[in-house]
Amino acid sequence: MMMTTLFIAATLTAASAGAPTPGKLSPDVSKEMMAAIVATNKALGLESWPMHDVKPCIDRGGQGITAKEVTSDETRRCGASALEKGFPELGKSYALAVPMAEIGPVTVLAIGIDGSEGWGAYSCDPDRKCLPVKIGSPNKWGKRIAERIERACAEPGTLWFPADKRACPNAAPATTAATVPPPAATAPPPAKH
């Protein structure tokens, strides 16, 4: 009887070893979120990676007047190529958001979904870790990630990876201007009197 109890306890402990406790982010998902941010930053030439001898797949030009505009299509293509392999939890435990400005991508956010809701991380310098934090926690990092996610969700031009995983808390799925055309008019405008 004692042996059976020990065996059952050991089996349950082993089965739950990889699963995060409620309110915690799995260490494997945390590492993958950070790696996905870094891979996307490198591909898009963000966070000074080009100054660390990393060649991005898009040509952002240089500083100031030599900067070149980068389109949403170029950004999506380069981001997708950087994320093709090695990110099995992308779209399952987290999604990436890339807010766009007129000249191109601005930053990369990783936002927890499904069992990882409430966690997020954003781009950081190459010499730092982009650690996920609890979204909206009372410290400055929790507040910053919450603000960045709110802005990314409010911008229709934000690119999402995967494209169908818009990770906006308390929001209905929205379309992005870069991927879906506006709906056609169904009736002519009213006549002016």
The answer to whether the pTM exceeds 0.75 is no
Residue 11 forms part of a structural domain: no
189: pLDDT confidence band, cut at 50, 70 and 90?
A: low
Q: Which of 62, 38, 67 is nearest to 130 (CA)?
A: 38
Number of domains making up the chain: 1
What is the extent of the structural domain holding 72?
25-161
When mean pLDDT is compared over 49-53, 89-93, 113-117, 139-143, the highest value belongs to 89-93
CA 30 to CA 133: how far, in whole Å?
9
Omega prior to 162 cis, within 30 of 0: yes
**Per-residue confidence (pLDDT) for residue 63, from 0 to 100:** 64
- 3-state secondary structure (DSSP) of residue 159: strand
Residue 132 forms part of a structural domain: yes
pLDDT digits (tens, 9 = 90+) for 28-61: 999 999 999 999 988 888 877 676 677 777 776 6
How many helices, marked H, and strands, marked E, lie in the chain? 4, 7
Residue 130 forms part of a structural domain: yes
Residue 58 forms part of a structural domain: yes
Residue 131 forms part of a structural domain: yes
Rg (CA), the chain: 21
Range name among 4-8, 140-144, 154-158 with the lowest pLDDT average: 4-8
Average pLDDT rounded to a whole number, residues 99-104? 87
